[in-house]
Amino acid sequence: MAKIGLIGAGSWGTALSKLAADNGHEVTVWSIVKEEIEMLQENREHLDKLPGVKLPENISYTTELAAAIEGKDMCILAVPSPFTRSTAAMMKPFVKEGQIIVNVAKGVEEKTLMTLSEIIGQEVPQADVAVLSGPSHAEEVGKGMPTTIVVGAKTKETAEYIQNLLMNKVFRVYTSPDILGIELGGALKNVIALAAGIADGLGCGDNTKAALITRGIAEIARLGMTMGGKPETFSGLTGIGDLIVTCASMHSRNRRAGILIGQGKTMQEAMDEVKQVVEGVYSAKAAMGLAEKYGVEIPIIEQVNLVLFEGKPAAQALDELMLRDKKIEISSGWQV
């Protein structure tokens, strides 16, 4: 049995707290929102974010950050990506040298173009920072539906330690050294999922969805490999796997927001209606910044940015993607 601190009590944090508790670990969940903690204590259920998922009795709840960090074998950081830096800064005084922090949010910081693990490493330099990502809707993990996921860490020892703590018969955990590739896949797929939702909102069909997923992973891999990510990562669970689930499911807040935008709502109206953090909105500009920095073409993500931030009509953006200059999908192998 391990002692695990869960920093953040949203849908994903709640689902992971149940998973860890079901595995027999001692779990402490922290939220900055007092009312959220009181609700979890009283109902043993997150009525807003994960209704219908009853939580085990061996989970404790607190608004005191120190209580969720000090003496813990591992902390899981599960706050939305825009709050990763501020939360990590609050955590720093309580984190001991070499303590494991597993980040489970997905995003890239717009101003610095840093991944979330880089941000945590900067704010909490004494921590052993790892990441957990993959096709894993909180709603399904909370209900015990079979799920596969990847943990990325600097050392094999840390990766296998996290794998052993979290893996069970419905939650299969793989390991990888490619932290960068895992994080880029997780962040950028949210932007492509916005595009998939926008296409749904415009009334497009399965052909369009398949095209966006296929060409979307090409963009993600092109940028990610230029930055140093491994090609296997983008063809794996945290690449094409996470992209498929986020583009295809109504559990996806990014897809749901995209549908509303495709139907004519503004970005802000869509985010207000979804009532959750739409992380693809926060990663879209950062993705363009990375593409410009590394000289990589990402036309789908570029059009999403124009729709989100410059008021470009979604139908016009789709037309321009379809009418781009002719391209070759595979260039080698022609007979001369």
Query: Which residues are designated catalytic?
Result: 189
Q: Which residues contact 32 (CB under 8 A, 6 or more apart)?
A: 63
C-alpha span between 225 and 233 (Å, rounded): 9
C-alpha span between 103 and 120 (Å, rounded): 8
Query: Helix, strand, or coil here: 148?
Result: strand
Query: Nearest CA to 136 among 5, 23, 301, 11?
Result: 11
Residue 296 CA to its chain's centroid (Å): 22
Match 């391209």 to its residue by tokens. 327
What b/e readout covers 68-89, taking b as 16+ CB neighbours within 10 angstroms? bbbebebbbbbbbbeebbebbe
C-alpha span between 132 and 306 (Å, rounded): 31
C-alpha span between 4 and 172 (Å, rounded): 19
C-alpha span between 65 and 87 (Å, rounded): 10
Query: Nearest CA to 139 among 262, 318, 18?
Result: 18
